[in-house]
């Protein structure tokens, strides 16, 4: 049987890539030996290997301690570990014992070589545990074979399992034992098909769940999946389709990180998507990027650090409302990174929602992406709700058109944080244009307790009408509402 598996591999000694492989292998070998020389290798002078003793001064690769060999293999890609069979006959099946196995189909010349490599690794290692297992391949009429691999990996107490199976036809049915694994800590699934789960789900050790391109079949399946992860700490969802679902509740007490990226996902016209409620958790981090195809509500929950990046969409009213509802549910956040287009979107259709939104009393840092118009009514209304803001950053630059400030150069309405808490302002990608200078002038005049303003010039100034030195001098001489304010210019 072993010879049958070996016959599936190409003649590695004749491969044109073998010279590069050998160089890389011996470089890794040298690093390992140097690391072990002063301590561990000495302890193996009498270590038995293959029935004999390792003698001082032995130069045979096969005489290296098993621990050293496995350490070398663990630093090599799985495909390169397979190639080590040409260096020593005793290593013919040694690579199958490494704790981490990665099989990516496109890295193999032919599909049959890939399939044989996976089965050889699982068969020759026997009952030895697998710590991490990654499988990325097409599934073309051989779903049963792939399921058998997954079952074998789960039986070997795998802790980190990553499956990228983009070509399943029809609903996918993974082994039931996967969903009751007591050892699995990280599960990453990229399936691109309807995802159905068994009647029993109990991931007692699962800490991270990452789903990509998954299509949830119904409310019960989705709810059952998240309810079966009692110690989950990290959820990552990319381009997942919730169109078949009306409502799902995520209530995982230990959840710390929740990331949602809709990617290029689209729903059929008329679909309102799903309502996803996050209940009773205190997150360290929450991130959203998409067109608000679905609604995300935080009920009796919070997040300390939040990132929100809405994507352009022809629909405006519904995404604006969902954005406001999301922000309202995250009112206890401390750090917010958000695109300025969010406030423009709110301003255009549903500014009244901001007026009724609760205050963000804990928010101390606000980071704005895209070029910011300081006179945006949506932004100014939001700042009215941030009485404790201490840090404000404009990552892509800032402008203020002439009619956006009162005649005395003050913003209207003036956010309360400008009077009592705002201490540091960062302005990046500054070009020195008139609208930019006007914005900074208003900031300096309106912020009464400001301590520092950092202005970073762009490496290439666009449409600059005056020398950089003259503009810098004018910036430093702008009147300031705070006597203790320092303006620092960073010139490339």
Phi/psi for 362 (5° steps) reads -95, -5
HSE at residue 253, side-chain half, CA atoms within 13 A, is 2
- Which of 73, 95, 117 is the C-terminal boundary of a domain? 95
Q: How far apart are CA 172 and CA 169, in angstroms?
A: 8
**Residue 29 lies inside a defined structural domain of this protein:** yes
HSE at residue 371, side-chain half, CA atoms within 13 A, is 9
Residue 270: the pLDDT is: 74
217-237 core/surface letters (b: 16 or more CB in 10 A; e: else) = eebebbbbbbebbeebbbbbb
**Residue 440 lies inside a defined structural domain of this protein:** yes
Q: How far apart are CA 136 and CA 322, in angstroms?
A: 36
Q: Which residue has the tokens 């029935």?
A: 51
Task: Tell me the CA distances in angstroms from 298 to 86, 232, 419, one per residue in order.
Answer: 57, 17, 31
Q: How far apart are CA 182 and CA 429, in angstroms?
A: 50
The residue among 45 and 412 whose pLDDT is bigger is: 412
- Which of 95, 118, 150 is the C-terminal boundary of a domain? 95
Number of domains, the chain = 2
Nearest residue to 159 via CA among 186, 126, 179: 186
How would residue 69 be classed by pLDDT, with cut points 50, 70 and 90?
Answer: low
Q: How far apart are CA 41 and CA 43, in angstroms?
A: 5
Residue 119: the pLDDT is: 86
Going by C-beta distance under 8 Å and a sequence separation of 6 or more, which residues neighbour residue 362?
Answer: 332, 333, 334, 388
Mean pLDDT of all residues in 305-324: 85
Mean pLDDT of all residues in 395-423: 81
**Residue 109 lies inside a defined structural domain of this protein:** no
How would residue 38 be classed by pLDDT, with cut points 50, 70 and 90?
Answer: very low
| Each residue's pLDDT tens digit, 355-376 | 678 899 999 999 998 889 998 8
Counting residues of the chain whose pLDDT is more than 90, the rounded percentage is: 46
| Each residue's pLDDT tens digit, 229-259 | 999 999 999 999 998 899 999 999 999 999 9
Residue 12: the pLDDT is: 42
pLDDT at position 174 over 80: yes
Q: How far apart are CA 28 and CA 65, in angstroms?
A: 15
**Residue 105 lies inside a defined structural domain of this protein:** no
DSSP 363-376: --EEEEES-EETT-
**Residue 271 lies inside a defined structural domain of this protein:** no
Mean pLDDT of all residues in 110-116: 87
| Each residue's pLDDT tens digit, 2-13 | 344 333 344 444
**Residue 42 lies inside a defined structural domain of this protein:** yes
**Residue 312 lies inside a defined structural domain of this protein:** no
C-alpha torsion 362→364→368→372, nearest 10: 100
Nearest residue to 188 via CA among 171, 206, 176: 206
Q: State the pTM of this model.
A: 0.80
Q: Which residue has the tokens 């013919």?
A: 92
pLDDT at position 295 over 90: yes
SS3 303: strand
DSSP 387-438: TT--EEEETT-EE--GGGS-TTS--SSPPTHHHHT--EEEEEEE---HHHHH
SS3 202: coil
DSSP 75-112: TS-HHHHHHGGGT-GGGTTGGGG-SEEEEEGGGSSSHH
- Which of 95, 119, 137 is the C-terminal boundary of a domain? 95
Residue 236: the pLDDT is: 98
pLDDT at position 414 over 50: yes
Q: How far apart are CA 93 and CA 100, in angstroms?
A: 15
Q: Show the domain range for 442.
A: 334-492
Residue 225: the pLDDT is: 93
CATH of the domain at 433: 3.80.10
Q: How far apart are CA 110 and CA 454, in angstroms?
A: 56
Q: How far apart are CA 449 and CA 423, in angstroms?
A: 6
- Is residue 216 within 8 Å of 239, Cβ to Cβ? no
**Residue 239 lies inside a defined structural domain of this protein:** no
């Amino acid at each position: 049987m072993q010879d049958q598996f070996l016959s599936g591999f190409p003649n590695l000694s004749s491969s044109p890539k073998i010279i590069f492989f050998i160089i890389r292998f011996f470089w890794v070998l040298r690093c390992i030996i140097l690391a072990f020389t002063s301590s561990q290798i000495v302890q193996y002078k009498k270590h038995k290997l293959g029935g004999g003793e390792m003698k001082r001064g032995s130069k045979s690769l096969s005489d290296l301690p098993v621990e050293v060999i496995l350490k070398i293999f663990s630093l090599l890609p799985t495909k390169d570990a397979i190639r080590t069979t040409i260096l020593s006959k005793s290593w013919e099946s040694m690579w199958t014992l490494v704790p981490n196995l990665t099989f990516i189909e496109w890295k193999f010349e032919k599909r049959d070589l890939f399939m044989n490599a996976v089965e050889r690794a699982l068969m020759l290692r026997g009952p030895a545990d697998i710590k991490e297992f990654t499988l990325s391949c097409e599934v073309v009429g051989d779903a049963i074979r792939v399921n058998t691999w997954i079952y074998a990996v789960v039986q070997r107490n795998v802790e980190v399992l990553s499956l990228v199976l983009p070509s399943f036809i029809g609903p996918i049915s993974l082994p039931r034992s996967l969903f009751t694994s007591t050892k699995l800590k990280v599960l990453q699934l990229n399936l691109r098909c309807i995802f159905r789960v068994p009647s029993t789900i109990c991931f007692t050790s699962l800490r991270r769940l990452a789903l990509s391109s998954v299509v949830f079949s119904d409310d019960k399946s989705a709810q059952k999946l998240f309810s079966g992860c009692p110690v989950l700490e990290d959820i990552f969802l990319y381009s997942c389709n919730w169109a078949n679902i009306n409502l799902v509740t995520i209530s995982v007490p230990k959840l710390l990180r929740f990331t949602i990226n809709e990617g290029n996902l689209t729903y059929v016209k008329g679909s309102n998507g799903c309502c996803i409620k996050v209940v009773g958790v205190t997150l360290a981090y929450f991130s959203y990027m998409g067109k608000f195809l679905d609604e995300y509500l935080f009920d009796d929950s919070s997040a300390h650090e939040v990132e929100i990046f809405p994507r352009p969409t022809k629909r405006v009213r519904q995404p604006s409302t969902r954005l406001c509802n999301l922000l309202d549910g995250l009112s206890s956040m401390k750090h917010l990174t958000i695109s300025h287009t969010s406030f423009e979107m709110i301003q255009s259709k549903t500014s009244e929602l901001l007026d009724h939104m609760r205050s963000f009393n804990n928010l101390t840092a606000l980071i704005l992406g895209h070029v910011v118009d300081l006179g945006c009514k949506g932004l100014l209304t939001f700042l009215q709700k941030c009485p404790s803001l201490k840090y404000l950053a404009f990552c892509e630059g800032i402008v203020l058109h002439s009619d956006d400030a009162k005649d005395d150069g003050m913003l209207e309405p003036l956010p309360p944080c400008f009077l009592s808490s705002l201490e540091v302002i960062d302005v990046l990608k500054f070009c020195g244009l008139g609208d930019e200078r006007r914005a900074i002038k208003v900031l300096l005049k309106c912020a009464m307790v400001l301590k520092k303003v950092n202005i970073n010039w762009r490496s290439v100034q666009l449409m600059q009408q005056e020398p950089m030195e003259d503009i810098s001098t004018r910036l430093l001489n702008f009147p300031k509402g705070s006597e203790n304010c320092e303006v620092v210019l960073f010139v490339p």
